[in-house]
């Protein structure tokens, strides 16, 4: 017969299967974009830091496709035990809203995910090929409009952050640009440097080297304030294009049914590695602002973005086809 102490221990073990199960095998950090972009780089640095500090193996896996929706769908279907997480960015709610409005979302954006923690704040830079004229974004758009030029802009897919930004800019400036969709920011920037695009964009951590080398020319940032590392780069609001102002972030999400205590534990672990040490140094060096915090704060950012941009997507009639 089991004694009371052994029964209590067994009850405790059964009461917390999610944590034990998550720690018994590598935690998968699904990155729904190709290698080379900011989300991929930050995700891999985070996975390494968590592995070193928690003793649990964390493996970053790229699952690109459909503007990030394929990787997100994989996480939505995963076991809700904390063993599979989504490392994504501000394109996630935007792309998902486009699919949802069109009735083609492979998941329910709000109901199928649990916000865990915001990892970084990061600026998005809009940039042109160096051979393109226009001193800043407003001057560039005016030139395209007045000269009736056929110019191409790069996005990371229909419904992505850049797609929405450029659709808003076209409406505000009364200009037409043709979209070229890519599976991620890295191939987009390669084509911008090569001159196959006239304008595009990327998060600052992975575009700063190109800006400094002069292989692309920054014309604006979508952030609400200038970045001290590129102090001469104006915000879209300063140029009278404030409707396109969107602050960008990278964050972590779990399957919706993940127990709150597991979500909170993961948020604490990530906040701890962001608070100091090598990871914080590397992120700051990359121009990213480490954040951390509670699941509630990530949830507030997430829901505010959904509330703001659902009507914009409907009004502009943005579709999964572009």
Do the domains 124-244 and 25-120+247-316 match in fold?
Answer: yes
Phi and psi at 249, nearest 5°, equal -150, 165
The answer on pLDDT for 255 being more than 90 is yes
Please state the CATH superfamily assignment of the domain spanning residues 25-120+247-316 in this structure.
Bordetella uptake gene, domain 1 (3.40.190.150)
Contact 254, 263 (CB under 8 A): yes
CATH of the domain spanning 124-244, picked from 3.40.50.1820, 3.90.1300.10, 3.40.190.10, 3.40.50.720: 3.40.190.10
Residue given tokens 């990371």 in the structure block: 156
Sequence spans of domains, the chain: 25-120+247-316, 124-244
Compute the distance between CA of residue 182 and CA of residue 63 in angstroms, rounded to an integer: 14
Q: What is the pLDDT of residues 24-37, one digit of tens each?
A: 689 999 999 989 88
| Mean predicted confidence (pLDDT) in 2-29 | 49
Q: What is the pLDDT of residues 37-58, one digit of tens each?
A: 899 999 999 999 999 999 999 9
CA 223 and chain centroid, separation = 14
Three-state SS at 212:
helix
The answer on pLDDT for 276 being more than 90 is no
pLDDT at 7: 37
Give 195 or 7, the one with higher predicted confidence: 195
Contact 92, 68 (CB under 8 A): yes
Q: What is the pLDDT of residues 210-229, one digit of tens each?
A: 999 999 999 999 999 999 98
For the chain, the first-to-last Cα distance in angstroms comes to 67
Element (H, E) at 27: strand 27-31
């Amino acid at each position: 017969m089991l004694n009371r102490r052994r029964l209590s221990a067994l009850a405790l073990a059964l009461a917390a299967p999610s944590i034990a199960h998550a720690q018994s095998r590598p935690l998968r950090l699904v990155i729904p974009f190709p290698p080379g972009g900011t989300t991929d780089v930050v995700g891999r640095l985070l996975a390494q830091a968590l592995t070193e500090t928690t003793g649990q193996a964390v493996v970053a896996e790229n699952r690109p496709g459909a503007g990030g929706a394929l990787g997100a769908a994989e996480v939505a279907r995963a076991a809700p035990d904390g063993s599979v997480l989504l490392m994504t960015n501000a394109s996630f709610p935007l792309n998902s809203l486009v699919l949802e409005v069109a009735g083609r979302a492979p998941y329910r954006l709000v109901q199928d995910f649990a916000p865990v923690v915001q990892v970084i704040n990061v600026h998005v830079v809009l940039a042109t090929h160096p051979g393109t004229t226009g001193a800043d974004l407003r001057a560039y758009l005016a030139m395209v409009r007045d000269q009736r030029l056929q110019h191409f802009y790069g996005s990371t897919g229909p419904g992505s952050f850049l797609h929405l930004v450029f659709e808003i800019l076209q409406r505000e400036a009364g200009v037409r640009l043709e979209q070229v969709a890519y599976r991620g920011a890295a191939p987009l920037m390669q084509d911008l440097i090569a001159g196959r695009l006239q304008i595009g964009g990327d998060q600052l951590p992975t575009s700063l080297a190109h800006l400094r080398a002069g292989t692309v020319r920054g014309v604006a940032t979508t952030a609400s304030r200038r970045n001290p590392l590129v102090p001469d780069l104006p915000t879209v609001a300063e140029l009278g294009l404030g409707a396109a102002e969107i602050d960008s972030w990278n964050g972590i999400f779990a399957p919706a049914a993940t127990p709150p205590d597991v979500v909170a534990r993961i948020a604490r672990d990530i906040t701890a590695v962001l608070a100091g040490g090598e990871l914080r140094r590397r992120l700051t060096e990359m121009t990213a602002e480490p954040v951390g915090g509670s699941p509630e704060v990530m949830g507030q950012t997430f829901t505010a973005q959904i509330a703001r941009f659902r009507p914009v997507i409907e009004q502009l009639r943005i579709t999964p086809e572009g």
